[in-house]
Amino acid sequence: MRNEPHGRGVETGTPFPPVNHDEPHEARGDRLVRLEALGDRGVVEVRTERHGVLAVGVAAGRPFAVSNVCRHQFAKLGRGRVTADGCLECPWHRARYDVEDGSMTSGPKGRVFGVKPYSAAVKAIGGRLRLATHPVEIRDGAIWLSA
Ligand code: FES
């Protein structure tokens, strides 16, 4: 994970942005993923029958499942990370999302295609085009869809 002020969010191992799925976990019915599979990033991609691929994790001690596509340039949020303050951070330009209501709380950072990002404008759009959120719960050491 890159954390320098003008860097991007993750090392992708390729020159391309993380817009492809990264071998999502397969849900088993409503059981999305075991907690131990979340790892250090606190979020993974999970392929579901009902909702397609979701970003599923735990933020501030609470489970979440949200749509997987960043509102900025479509990076896969399940390849990002959960921050110390409980936001879901995009792996590409580090926009942050509130996983409770799906709103973008902080716009993209660093440089985007060589220019300073239009962070405030993107954040304004991201506040309106929220991520879809799905109710989940923790049961038997795993995250489950609850509705
Ligand atoms: S693609 Fe997510 S912040 Fe740019």
Instruction: Report, as an integer, the average pLDDT of 4-33.
Output: 74
Total Cβ atoms within 10 A of residue 113: 6
Q: For residue 19, which atom of ligand 1 is closest to its CA?
A: 1
Q: What is the pLDDT of residue 15?
A: 66
| Residue 97 alpha carbon to ligand 1 centre in Å | 11
DSSP state of 77: G
Q: Is 93 in the pocket of ligand 1 (CB under 6 A)?
A: yes
Q: Is 97 in the pocket of ligand 1 (CB under 6 A)?
A: no
Domains in the chain (CATH in brackets) are: 25-145 (2.102.10.10)
Q: pLDDT tens, 76-127? A: 999 999 999 999 999 988 999 999 999 999 988 866 566 665 667 776 776 6
User: Mean pLDDT score of the chain, rounded to an integer?
Assistant: 86
State the pTM of this model: 0.85
Q: What is the pLDDT of residue 5?
A: 40
Q: What is the pLDDT of residue 30?
A: 96
The pLDDT of residue 68 is above 60: yes
